[in-house]
Structure 1
Amino acid sequence: MKKITKISTQKQAGRYSVDLDNKFAFGVAESVLIKYGLAKGRELDETLIDQIKRDDQVAKAFNTAINYLGHALRTIKQVKQKLVEKDIAEDIQEQAIAQLKSLGYLDDANYARHYVATKKLINPKGPQVIRMDLKQAGVLDTDINAALETFTYDEQLDIAKKMATKFANTYKRESTRVKQQKIIQALANKGFSFEIGQTIITELDLSNDQEVELENVKRQAEKLWHRHRNMALSQRQYKTKTQLYGKGFSSEMIDRVMLMIADEPE
């Protein structure tokens, strides 16, 4: 048996040094000090000392996690990763995480709900990307599904419409058909379904007007016409027209522009 001869505070708040038989033995968190009722004059055997040290490791892991959680909501997987970075043993991690869960500090279902709510307002994302993000964060499918149920179809449509309007401006130099295809793809990359994309194209007028479409096809045609300048005239015309079709322009627009180009000096 060893006797506690001194307990003193450490520089780090909430930490104490314990001396046994007039020699420093170990440091403990305040929570561990209280749990075991450590006080000067108390005698400890080796088994109890080992248990106290182990509980202090758990307390350290718990505090590391609490500090990490202080900046934002985290998942169980994310907290585990942080504890691994701190070289905390797996069995100690499990005990600390169990405490965090029992006290309500860790709740993956709650994390998923908050994540979905945030992605409706800040840096919006569609359900498919949100699902991938949450899976990567370690959230179970059941919790993901429950959280995504709060993201209604009407909300998705409203957010995607705002995005589509911005994308339409980004792709304004494309043909109407290609612009619409790129808008649908851009929405898909943000996590919205093909159905949502098609609905938006149908509901919103995102087509170019005649003047803009003519400007776009003329710009593209002039580049292609110059690129194929070393070809024979018939082949040059064929190549240019074929590639313009591929870019989504109508045959009527292409024919108009080809006549304009043919009349222009090289």
Structure 2
Amino acid sequence: MTEKETSLPKITKIETQKRKERYNIYVDGEYAFPVDEAILIKYVLHKDMEMPADLMKKIMADDTERKYYNQALGYISYRLRSEKEVRQHLKEKEATADIIEKTVQKLKEQKYLDDQIYGDSFVRTAATISQKGPGVLKQELKLKGLKDEVITQALTQYSNDQLIENALKLAQKTWKKHRNTSQREAKNKVQQILFQKGYTQEVIQQVLAALDTEKTPEDEYESVQTQGAKIWRKNQRHDLRKRIQKTKQSLYQKGFPADMITQFIEEIQLEEE
């Protein structure tokens, strides 16, 4: 055989890409494959280097892994991510299951990926900037893929003082929003919102005890007038007897005292005579 027939392919050119730290490799005068700078250094790629097929295949496989590793690094550079989020991100980028596993393990070994650190930070941030209770945070962390024992530990970051403070702020906001309803309905609404936001019954009762939920008779009757006027107008298509019946029924359901309802009905009838 001639020397030309027995010689291995060689790198004839290494070209810098516009993308930072990326290079194009040419073999025997033709474009062959791209590589990351880290791969270029790892294999000490240079002009006239022999490039057998098995080596080229290995370099390309390493570069693919490096590409997805860099994508994962970029994804977690903006904020902390859970392991599940990183896996999902790589899957969306069409990484193979093998590459996803290798990338995740590498990130965990380098301490760039840690569900406990993620969970702790998630809870501390939520406790500071939101009024969500532990129950809601627990469900959100489950959706992020965290294990139960990791979530339990993370929730210890939510201090009891912060818990009561957040719940009380939410209760006060809710009470104010429903100030024109009956005392009973407003109180029930506070309990409902706190429960939906993930607070325990124990915390809810503490907050209700600290919250001023007492309305003066004057305030309560003012609420009867506000709510009653709306209901009265809504039922104007009915005859007087049925209109009175439906208005009374609605106000009863809203938790207003019977004597105040009767007083309101008498007053509004007089106004319309």
TM-score (norm 1): 0.91
Aligned equivalent of 2:121: 114
1:190-216 residue CA offsets vs partner (Å, 9 max, x unmatched) = 222233223211221123332221111
For the 8 Å contact 1:76–1:107, the answer to whether it is kept is yes
- Cα RMSD (Å) of the superposition? 2.0
For 1:195-253, what per-residue CA distance to the aligned partner results, in whole angstroms no more than 9, with x for missing partners?
Answer: 32232112211233322211111222233334445656555444332321110111232
Give the match for residue 261 of structure 2: 254
Equivalent in 150, 153, 156 of residue 146 of structure 1 = 153
Q: Distance in 2 between matches of 1:177 and 1:27?
A: 70
Q: Which range moves more in the overlay, 201-210 or 71-80? A: 201-210
Say if 1:124 and 1:47 are closer, same or farther in 2 by CA, change over 3 A. farther
The correspondence for 1:80, drawn from 75, 83, 87, is 87
Q: For 2:131 and 2:229, locate their aligned partners in 1 and report how far apart those are by CA, in whole Å.
A: 38
Query: Would you say the 8 A contact 2:82–2:118 is kept in 1?
Result: yes
In the other structure, the counterpart of 1:71 is 78
**Aligned with 1:205 (options 209, 212, 217):** 212
Q: Which residue identity lines up with residue 48 of structure 1 in the other structure?
A: L
CA distance in 2, matches of 1:247, 1:200: 22
Large movers: runs of 4+ above 6 Å: none
**Aligned with 1:256: secondary structure?**
helix
What is residue 31 of structure 1 aligned with on the other side? 38
- Distance in 2 between residues matched to 1:169 and 1:27, nearest whole Å: 63
Residue number in structure 1 paired with 2:164: 157
Identity among equivalent positions (%) equals: 38
Decide whether aligned partners of structure 1 residues 6 and 241 sit closer, same or farther in structure 2, where only a CA change above 3 A counts: same
Aligned to 1:192: 199
Residue type of the partner of 1:26? Answer: F
Question: Following the alignment from structure 2 to structure 1, what is the Cα–Cα distance between the partners of residues 61 and 214?
Answer: 68
Which range is displaced more, 242-251 or 226-235? 226-235
Residue 5 of structure 1 pairs with residue 12 of structure 2: yes
For residues 37 and 236 of structure 2, the distance between their equivalents in structure 1, rounded to whole angstroms, comes to 82
**1:121-147 CA deviation, whole Å, 9 max, x = no partner?**
113311111111111111121111110
Any unmatched runs of 5+ in structure 1? none
Say yes or no: does 1:58 pair with 2:65: yes
Q: CA distance change for structure 1 residues 239 and 22 in 2, over 3 Å: closer, same or farther? A: closer
Residues of 2 paired with 1:143 and 1:46: CA distance? 46
Secondary structure, aligned partner of 2:26: strand
Residue identity opposite 2:171 in structure 1: A
Partner of 1:182: 189
CA separation of 1:21/1:231 partners in 2, compared to 1, >3 Å: closer, same or farther? closer
C-alpha change, 1:231 and 1:26, in structure 2 (3 Å) is closer
Gaps of 5+ in 2: 1-7
| Paired letter, 2:47 | K
Q: Decide which moves more: 145-154 or 167-176.
A: 145-154
Q: SS at 1:164's partner residue?
A: helix
Shift, 1:84, TM fit: 2.2
